[in-house]
Structure 1
Amino acid sequence: MNSKVALLVVQGMILYPALLWKLYQLTRAPRDVARWMVTACLACFAASYPLGLLAGDVNQPDPGSIVPLLFQHIFLCGLVYSLACFFLFSALPVAQARRRAWQEAVPLGTAILVMAIDAVLMPDVPPAAYPRAGVSIFYLAADLYLTYGIASACFFARRYARGAAPDLARGLLVASLGFAFGAVGGATLIAVVLVHWVGATIPLLLVQATVFLVFPSAILLVVGLSYPGVATRLAAARVWRQHLRTYHQIGPLWTRLHQAFPEDALSRTPLTPWRDALSLRGVHRRYYRRVIECRDGLVRISPYLAHLDHDGSLADRLTEALRAHARSEPVPEKGMPVATPDGGGLDDDARALVTLSESLRAAPA
């Protein structure tokens, strides 16, 4: 497998999962214009990818079959236009962004028109026999627009990243690096096409440089545009994992209190023990319920705790208080704070309950 094929494989492995992810996000916010533009960008990229493979393993200015080559470059131009619209609708009022989008459509339409006319006038011969002027005009129309659009996107991305949220700013900076590579690669492609048009010999190093500039730029672009959503999901996954862990850590305390006060359960359909241990669904809901149920139980048992001597650990005294409740002893009048958290948040409360639950685990039932 040569380096170009390897880059193509990596590109495809990153591209299509990123497109599926953006489509999923779009279903959650169908009226978000900026998200539509990012999804359209990745969709154009995904559509151009198999067309480029269909055109053949070619490097500019050596063409492949003109029909798939034409549609490949139309989708690539659509990719760049979608990027421009993304930044416009993200940074400007809707009316102003719409006007700028129509203005940006003029160079896009011009480039597509030139490529389409050139493709129609191309003689029906093998690609190696295409006229040099026709091939050069086709690639120049595409490369000039792509370089202009990518350079503009690089400028917009870096400017927009200054006032964006941290995750979005990081993603935009990664994408802007991809744009910078792409703009330099586009300028190099323009030079290659011009050298070819005048009939001069193109240095092999220059041709290879375009490959190693354009392909990494595409990968950085996909990673940068996908980073904010992926970072958000990773953060959500960390919270989910912490809630699941805390839910099970509070288990010993909840079990004792639930046995004493089963009527305090917020759920009327409790999970069986094995499903409770293995279930990965509704973690946040079960976590909140368990913390609240533990607090309710501690409030109800606190008068018994206040009535006991304060010698010994809280776990031992809680065990003795639960025994007193089980013996149906009269409820003392006043209660006391139990397992007071350091902060005022629910997670602070959960940490205090975890400490009590862990110490209670070793206490006699």
Structure 2
Amino acid sequence: MTAAQGALLYAALLWKLYQLVRAPRDVPLRMVTLCLACAAAAFPFGIAAGNVVQPDTGPMPLTYAQYALLALVVYMLVCFFLFAEGTSPRAVSAARRQGAVVVAALVVMTAAALTVPLDLPPEEYPAGNVAVFYLAANAYLGFGLASAFVGARRYARGAQPRLARGLLLASAGMVLMVLGTAVLLVVNGATWAGATVPAALFPAVTFTLLPGILLFIVGVSYPGVATRLAAARVWLQHLRMYHRLAPLWRELNAAFPEDALHRVPGPAWRDALNPFAMNRRYYRRVIECRDGLVRLSPYLPGDEPATDPVELAHRLRAALRSRAEGRAVRPRAVALAVPMSDALEDDVRELAALSRALRTA
């Protein structure tokens, strides 16, 4: 689970950095990117400190760096929901109050960490100092996560469905993390009081904090990933229809090369390797097919245009021959392969059916 957490964390950070480069003035996006950046910075400190179960600890400098960064993670998360609807004076004031709380927690953590003799091995650290350090850290983490949960549920009520689902997952993760920090506070308090900590509490921490972190990362990443998957489905659909229109487009382009929308193409290999060019090529091919059919329709034999794709394909063959011979049979253009509705998808399906029939005609 730790490996999965790290993989998801750094993947989410890279994605948010990419989005931030494209929208550097987006304050909520800046907050969530800073949140993930602090979490990514804290992750290796936790690994180096051994990720030991509290109330034990690893080397204090590493543990302090990890928890100080985690406190900033939670603060940035709270700020994200505060500024999600704009940087109003009320949101700025709330962010300052939340900042005062995290500063107070960091002061207590720093004081507790500085009073730990670093020449001692971690297992010989004074139990009281370690307990105070973790009490301050976990108290703020629990408070901040609870505040972020309230902000997430409030923001989700007016969000789009895709974002609302992501916030639901992130909220579930925050609930688990709040439960985990609550258990840790009990452990810290028992350690400070010199009481024996029940062994059953430690698995409870493991099976609330780690799944909670994973759920939170998945929830934060879900809206962007879902958007990219939807765009990928559209891209694949355009790719299929682009190739299905090829037989019709080749015939019409050969007959009317002057109607090509891209008169001066770049290197073919660069256009073929550019995945973002597919949508452009798809729409261009649809338009060129429609323009070509309009140009070819005066040469179409018969009194009425055919509606069956196979029959129309045979007439198009005859029209291409008439056009090559310069014999127009109609005084004006007529509509061919007309769809039942004005939707672009229906129009493309009619063209694709005609293209398939033309290939075998």
TM-score, with structure 2 as normaliser: 0.94
Q: Hey, what's the Cα distance between the residues in 1 that align with 2:270 and 2:20? A: 34
Aligned pairs for 1:19-58 within 5 A: 19-58=13-52
5+ residue gaps in structure 1?
1-6
1:151 is aligned, of 133, 146, 152, to 146
Worse-matched range after superposition: 242-251 or 312-321: 312-321
1:162 is aligned, of 154, 157, 163, to 157
Verify the 8 A CA contact 2:301 2:319 in the aligned structure 1: no
Identity %: 52
Q: CA, structure 1 residues 309+344, in 2 after alignment: closer, same or farther (shift >3 Å)?
A: closer
Verify the 8 A CA contact 1:44 1:79 in the aligned structure 2: yes
1:231 is aligned, of 226, 230, 253, to 226
Q: How many residues align?
A: 357
Q: Hey, what's the Cα distance between the residues in 2 that align with 1:276 and 1:54? A: 47
2:323 is aligned, of 306, 322, 325, to 325
Structure 2 SS opposite 1:246: helix
Provide, for residues 179-224 of structure 1, a one-character-per-residue CA deviation record: whole Å limited to 9, x for no partner.
0000111100000111122222212221111011111111111110
1:138 is aligned, of 104, 129, 133, to 133
Q: Hey, what's the Cα distance between the residues in 2 that align with 1:298 and 1:159? A: 54
User: Displacement of 1:132 after TM fit?
Assistant: 1.1
Structure 1 SS opposite 2:62: helix
Partner of 2:94: 100
Verify the 8 A CA contact 1:306 1:334 in the aligned structure 2: no
Partner of 2:213: 218
Q: CA, structure 1 residues 207+35, in 2 after alignment: closer, same or farther (shift >3 Å)?
A: same
User: Displacement of 1:263 after TM fit?
Assistant: 0.8
The RMSD of aligned alpha carbons is: 1.9
- What one-letter code is carried by the residue in structure 1 that aligns with 2:143? Y
Q: CA, structure 1 residues 145+309, in 2 after alignment: closer, same or farther (shift >3 Å)?
A: closer
User: Displacement of 1:172 after TM fit?
Assistant: 0.2
User: Displacement of 1:142 after TM fit?
Assistant: 0.3
User: Displacement of 1:94 after TM fit?
Assistant: 2.7
User: Displacement of 1:280 after TM fit?
Assistant: 4.1
Verify the 8 A CA contact 2:299 2:330 in the aligned structure 1: yes
Partner of 1:72: 66
Partner of 1:347: 345
Provide, for residues 226-251 of structure 1, a one-character-per-residue CA deviation record: whole Å limited to 9, x for no partner.
11111111111111111111111100
Q: Are 2:76 and 1:82 equivalent residues in the alignment?
A: yes
Provide, for residues 72-95 of structure 1, a one-character-per-residue CA deviation record: whole Å limited to 9, x for no partner.
101100010011000000135532
- What one-letter code is carried by the residue in structure 1 that aligns with 2:251? R
Verify the 8 A CA contact 1:307 1:332 in the aligned structure 2: no
- What one-letter code is carried by the residue in structure 2 that aligns with 1:203? P
Structure 2 SS opposite 1:90: coil
Q: CA, structure 1 residues 21+276, in 2 after alignment: closer, same or farther (shift >3 Å)?
A: closer
Partner of 2:334: 336
Partner of 1:201: 196
User: Displacement of 1:296 after TM fit?
Assistant: 0.6
Verify the 8 A CA contact 1:11 1:219 in the aligned structure 2: yes
Provide, for residues 281-335 of structure 1, a one-character-per-residue CA deviation record: whole Å limited to 9, x for no partner.
5101111111111111011111122655667711111111111101111463122
Verify the 8 A CA contact 2:162 2:226 in the aligned structure 1: yes
Q: CA, structure 1 residues 279+141, in 2 after alignment: closer, same or farther (shift >3 Å)?
A: closer
Structure 1 SS opposite 2:200: helix
User: Displacement of 1:349 after TM fit?
Assistant: 2.0
User: Displacement of 1:14 after TM fit?
Assistant: 0.8
Aligned pairs for 1:113-132 within 5 A: 113-124=107-118, 125-132=120-127
1:304 is aligned, of 299, 304, 307, to 299
Q: Hey, what's the Cα distance between the residues in 1 that align with 2:316 and 2:230? A: 36
Worse-matched range after superposition: 270-279 or 113-122: 270-279
